[in-house]
Structure 1
Amino acid sequence: MNHPSAARSTQGALVLGALGIVFGDIGTSPLYAAQTVFAIDDHAVQPTVDDVYGVVSLIFWSITVVVTVKYVTLVLRADNDGEGGIMALAALVRSVSASVARRAAVALALGVLGASLFYGDSLITPAISVLSAVEGLEVVDPGPADLVLPIGVAILALLFVVQRFGTGSVGRLFGPVMVLWFLVLAALGIPHIVGHPGVLLGLSPTYVVSFVVDHPYTAFLAMGAVVLVITGAEALYADMGHFGRRPIRVAWFALVFPALILNYLGQAALILDDPRTVDNPFYLLAPGWAQLPLVVLATLATVIASQAVISGAFSVSKQAVRLGYLPRLTVRHTSERESGQIYVPAVNWLLFAGVVVLILVFRSSDRLATAYGLAVTGTLLLTTTLLLVYAATAWHWPRWRIVLVAVVFGGLELLFLAANLTKIVHGGWLPLLVAAIVVTLMTTWQRGRRIVTARRAAIEGSLADLVERLREERPERVPGTAVFAHPTGDTAPLALRANVEFNHVLHERVVIVSVESEGVPHVPPAERTTVDRLGDGLLHVTARFGFQDPQDVPEVLREAEGLDVDPAEALYFLSRMALERGPRGGMWTWRKRLFIGMAHNGANPAAYFHLPVDRTVVMGSRVEL
């Protein structure tokens, strides 16, 4: 039995970790959110009492309804074997809707769309966060304004370069830095609230109503910027598997939520006292002597926010691979203890290239803010939709509750989405373009993979027929164990068939390993393998992995009960398919080219399955697409 103090210590460490990773994005929103609201449509929102109270009320109730009530209270309850995120939620909905094939397919389609929007968010967040922090130099001294872009690019370049070393050691610094950041947020806001206590009236929802009634079009446009205060809400759910539900909730209610509200109220009070501060209310909250240290702290906080989004993109990519929507990618585990700490080189450098292009094209956080929002609101709506399906199916919610939640959350998020649609011609097209590209890639890979699998099965022939033929022909047996990685137990591995037909030999022990990706994050070791003995020294092993588990074939052979195989002594055989574009239908010609290009750039199967290079043999064949 663990001592209570040990349990408290563990919970404290998890809360600190959650503060360092989960809340980086939403925690840095005060840098640019309020500033963007007052800059929309050539300052359509005025620094008057009515407008300021209306804006701060919109901010408060948006955070309360979307983040506190929806995500922290409800969405965190929908955990997929402890994991979260829109892809995990889609897999969860698919599992509880297995009897309704159409619903399960729609759930995965929504998950793919949500993941695609997340990639757009992953491009914009590092660019806007780091730029908005470095732009604080202009407040301290307008002189070095020309250095903002080079400094921003240099910081981001360093951030992406160090990804290969992992976040384990750096991550321990994230929590204390973010604790300091949130304490500073609160400390900056409190003096201005004390100086203008009337700003607390803005917490009343009546000011939202009066703001909308008095200026309906302006309020509508303002919602397109107010959504910036809830960017990062999805991270609360996506990172649940790393820290658990309770630490995230404790961190939110104990520090993050009050610090954010105090800072936004402080910015509102400052604007009322001096309307000229609308150009950068965050940095002007601080006295002159504190502005340069605040720039340094804000830069650290935005780097942490960027790190969280980049890590999220790695996790989403890994989940998409396991669910069959992307080719195998090289995934490097950067921690011996934490399986969630991974590095995906291809995703890392694609993100870096995209972020640099964004910075050079948009050149300021103000312009980037026009592109921000569509990806966020789209993901919010998709999460709400999947949550309602899950609540109706798994939680058995009554219809009135489903309708109430749909109206409150869905209605607010639809307004956010509609307001952000006005940004399309001013940069909002960017996340939509990124999402369209990613959806095209994912659906092309899924469709092509199914076609190739069917045609490959026709070439390979039945495994049962091959086993029967081997019994009749009795080829010469050679010492040792041969392991054949093969996607199914129904057909014969081409490498096995070629070994018999061309070399006329068969190893004493032949193990065919089929890897299956389950729609859950983790499969317990005790449930991971099933061994089917085919006779004459031939065995078929089915290895099941969750989409968060490393697909380590030698480790599975070592752990499989009753198998008695020494992975260090075995030889491993892979069947490599050479894809050719043919005249047969099933896919458009351009999609065939795209699929073949993606296949050529996929990870080496030997590395993906953790096979020893010096004991792995690759044998090929051709498949027409």
Structure 2
Amino acid sequence: MHLELVRNPHLHGGTFALYSLICRYAKVGLTPSQQAEDCDVSNFKLELPSKRLRLAASLKSKLESSKFAKVFLLLATMLGTSMVMGDGILTPSMSVLSAVAGLKNASPKMTEGMIVAISVAILVCLFAVQRLGTDKVGYSFAPIIFVWFTMIGGIGAYNFVKFDPRVIKAVNPKYIVDYFLRNKKEAWISLGGVVLAITGTEALFADVGHFTVRSIQISMCTITYPALVLAYTGQASFLRKNGEFVSDAFYKSVPHPLYWPMFVVAVLASIIASQAMISGTFSIIQQSLSLGCFPRVKVVHTSPNHDGQVYIPEVNYLLMLASIGVTVGFRTTDKIGNAYGIAVVFVMALTSSLLVLIMIMIWKCNIFFIIAYVLVIGSVELTYLSSVLYKFAQGGYLPLAFATFLMTVMFVWNNVYRRKYYYELDHKVSPEKLKEITSDRNICRIPGLAIFYSELVHGIPPIFKHYVANVPALHSVLVFVSIKSLPISKVPVEERFLFRRVHPKDLNVFRCVVRYGYTDVQNEDESFENMLVEKLKEFIRDELWASQMGSNARVADEDQELGEGIIVNGENEDKNQEQQEEEVEKEIEAIDKAMRAGIVHLFGENEVIAGKGAGFGKRILIDYMYDFLKKNLRQTDKMFHIPHKRKLKVGMTYEL
């Protein structure tokens, strides 16, 4: 995972980022929106090794030709994404509840109910500050996390020296073998608790969106890992002399004068750990939203310096309610820990599986290296996964329940999203029909610029024909806009707008595909329509330049063949160029005039219903589940911050 992050700084981690990388190389996406022009985006192309392997070509061919493989790959990605979202619920509950539980050691009057109440209050405050953004929250917590690692590392070193330094012998692998030989099944079951020692590392993919890879590597190797090793070694040394405190080793091993400072820092550190996972949830929902796999929600870009820092109000509210529900429902960290372990190991196993596909198809690694990776990493992860699944009944069902619910939401939205796309593709307006409509004398052309929005990348959407049939008037300039998400993290602004002219030229009709990466966020301070008009003017000028270059090349060939009349041809060419430039200036003036007359944004308010003869399952999927999601979530027109006075919705019913 981290190898790819180093190789490709534009790739943010997570299951959807890996899925997007696979989609860039192989046509495994279920929506047929690929365009040859997408490869012209500067950071779209993959840096492929020069050596070609038959295994890579064979695997790519099988994935592209198998509908089952495409669906399975998407569902696996959704499962991993859902598990990460489940992490965003469990991490705050687990971290805060375990930190606050230290109050039991300070006061015997502290009851379980009081600890739960304090934890809930902290959780409410934690989710309330999310709207400030990771930048502000991170700056306020950075010194605290440094104090946290310093304290646990220092206390660990103190306990190591004071109690039993001989625990250093535990680095000998022989003791691991002896432990499993001696305890057998119980040793295997204990791995479910051991895995909690490495939880939190699955949130590193989110941190890549907030910091640089190098800063994470340096902090992990110089501060985090050494401090954790010292802390666990110190606790082991403490337990050698105080075995009765094994269930509460952390707070019991803290020297008495440092107890309260350690408690305060522990609570703050738990909040920071929760913050990282909540930010990771926002990041991965933004990725799935951009790829059409999650219902529309408002994404707020909270930092002008870091692209990955986003805040999603609706999701933040739901995470808070779910996290509080888990805290109140379970009340202790035992069952939450079992659930947490399953979510973490599931995500790791799915990430490694996708990474193996990338190693074979894209990186084209040596087959022996791939086999070694599967045997070493795969065997370890499967062993841990089997161990945590053993505690399914003791709280382990919770992340799977969350994942099932979230996967259902994602599947329903993506399934109907694809059905709508195919419907529009099958019923799109042909160029001949468009020419017929715009040339119809019964349809008047009025001053102004109309922007028609559609999810259809290829062709004119059927909503246009429906609009003209009811309103026999068209604006002097028409632009059909399709918002498209590419399977890359960012699209440079100068490469975002892709225009095509709809002929004949005098119609003033254009098609535009606006391309975004899955971490790009529409800038609220920047007028989308102004950018679109300026890029349209650039396209018209570039179109003239391209035609002149082609004309000059053709004239040069003719002159070379004839050998005479070079001066005459040159004069004629100059006249043609002047005439073309005048036409371009007139066309740009027409666009400026249309813009001054007014811009209207037309959105299709598409209602989808199951077609006649549809089965019971399809009716439930479309008429009830999707309809419920659509009515309770954000509409497309709200994503571009367009003034209500210049917005027009066109209703149409699709029978899918």
Q: TM-score if structure 1 supplies the norm length? A: 0.84
User: In the TM superposition, what is the alpha-carbon distance from 1:602 to its structure 2 partner?
Assistant: 2.8
Give the AA of the match of 1:386: L
User: In the TM superposition, what is the alpha-carbon distance from 1:416 to its structure 2 partner?
Assistant: 0.4
Q: Does 1:591 align with 2:621?
A: yes
Contact between 1:82 and 1:241, CA under 8 Å: does it hold in 2? no
| SS class of match (1:602) | coil
Between the aligned partners of 1:164 and 1:618, the Cα distance in structure 2 is 31
Between the aligned partners of 2:430 and 2:522, the Cα distance in structure 1 is 25
Between the aligned partners of 1:95 and 1:237, the Cα distance in structure 2 is 20
Moved more, 498-507 or 205-214: 498-507
Give every structure 1 segment of 4 or more consecutive aligned residues whose post-TM-superposition deviation is greater than 6 Å.
Answer: 563-568
Between the aligned partners of 2:169 and 2:220, the Cα distance in structure 1 is 23
Contact between 1:192 and 1:269, CA under 8 Å: does it hold in 2? yes
User: Paired residue for 1:575?
Assistant: 604
Moved more, 471-480 or 385-394: 471-480
Within-5 A mapping of 1:557-568? 557=532, 560=535, 561-562=538-539
Between the aligned partners of 1:78 and 1:442, the Cα distance in structure 2 is 30
Q: Does 1:618 align with 2:639?
A: no
Tell me the C-alpha RMSD between the 2 structures. 2.3
User: In the TM superposition, what is the alpha-carbon distance from 1:495 to its structure 2 partner?
Assistant: 5.4
Q: Does 1:324 align with 2:292?
A: yes
Instruction: Quickly say closer, same or farther: Cα 1:264–1:365, change in 2 above 3 A.
Output: same
Give the AA of the match of 1:547: Y
| SS class of match (2:209) | helix
Q: Does 1:188 align with 2:165?
A: no
Between the aligned partners of 2:380 and 2:534, the Cα distance in structure 1 is 50
Q: 2:139 aligns with which of 160, 169, 172?
A: 172
User: In the TM superposition, what is the alpha-carbon distance from 1:498 to its structure 2 partner?
Assistant: 4.5
User: In the TM superposition, what is the alpha-carbon distance from 1:167 to its structure 2 partner?
Assistant: 2.9
Between the aligned partners of 2:429 and 2:462, the Cα distance in structure 1 is 9
Contact between 2:192 and 2:388, CA under 8 Å: does it hold in 1? yes
Q: Does 1:141 align with 2:115?
A: no
Contact between 1:512 and 1:540, CA under 8 Å: does it hold in 2? yes
Between the aligned partners of 1:202 and 1:570, the Cα distance in structure 2 is 72
Between the aligned partners of 1:97 and 1:490, the Cα distance in structure 2 is 20
Within-5 A mapping of 1:300-311? 300-311=268-279
Instruction: Quickly say closer, same or farther: Cα 1:334–1:163, change in 2 above 3 A.
Output: same
Within-5 A mapping of 1:189-228? 189-195=156-162, 196-228=164-196
User: Paired residue for 1:160?
Assistant: 127
Instruction: Quickly say closer, same or farther: Cα 1:555–1:597, change in 2 above 3 A.
Output: farther
Between the aligned partners of 1:460 and 1:385, the Cα distance in structure 2 is 39
Between the aligned partners of 1:544 and 1:448, the Cα distance in structure 2 is 22
Contact between 1:499 and 1:506, CA under 8 Å: does it hold in 2? no
Between the aligned partners of 2:161 and 2:472, the Cα distance in structure 1 is 88
| SS class of match (1:473) | coil
Between the aligned partners of 1:428 and 1:75, the Cα distance in structure 2 is 31
How far does the alpha carbon of each residue in 1:381-415 deviate from its partner, in whole angstroms, 9 at most, with x for none? 11111111111222221211111111111101101
Q: Identical aligned pairs, as a percentage?
A: 33
User: Paired residue for 1:131?
Assistant: 97
Contact between 1:577 and 1:622, CA under 8 Å: does it hold in 2? yes
Within-5 A mapping of 1:47-66? none
How far does the alpha carbon of each residue in 1:208-262 deviate from its partner, in whole angstroms, 9 at most, with x for none? 1111111111210110111111112222233223322211111111111100111
Q: Does 1:237 align with 2:205?
A: yes
Q: 1:86 aligns with which of 3, 15, 20?
A: 15
User: In the TM superposition, what is the alpha-carbon distance from 1:341 to its structure 2 partner?
Assistant: 2.2
Give the AA of the match of 2:529: P
Between the aligned partners of 2:437 and 2:497, the Cα distance in structure 1 is 27
User: Paired residue for 1:25?
Assistant: none
Moved more, 349-358 or 405-414: 349-358
Within-5 A mapping of 1:98-497? 98=27, 99-100=60-61, 101=64, 102=66, 106-145=72-111, 146-195=113-162, 196-458=164-426, 461-462=429-430, 464-473=432-441, 475-493=443-461, 496-497=464-465
Between the aligned partners of 2:329 and 2:413, the Cα distance in structure 1 is 31
Contact between 2:342 and 2:399, CA under 8 Å: does it hold in 1? yes
User: Paired residue for 2:30?
Assistant: none
Contact between 2:345 and 2:384, CA under 8 Å: does it hold in 1? yes
Q: Identify unmatched segments of 5+ residues in structure 1.
A: 1-70
Moved more, 242-251 or 327-336: 327-336
Instruction: Quickly say closer, same or farther: Cα 1:94–1:105, change in 2 above 3 A.
Output: farther
Q: Identify unmatched segments of 5+ residues in structure 2.
A: 28-59, 541-587
Q: Does 1:517 align with 2:485?
A: yes
Give the AA of the match of 1:544: R
Q: TM-score if structure 2 supplies the norm length? A: 0.80
Between the aligned partners of 2:489 and 2:294, the Cα distance in structure 1 is 17
User: In the TM superposition, what is the alpha-carbon distance from 1:514 to its structure 2 partner?
Assistant: 0.8
Contact between 2:457 and 2:482, CA under 8 Å: does it hold in 1? yes
Contact between 1:166 and 1:334, CA under 8 Å: does it hold in 2? yes
Contact between 1:80 and 1:88, CA under 8 Å: does it hold in 2? no
Between the aligned partners of 2:493 and 2:360, the Cα distance in structure 1 is 32
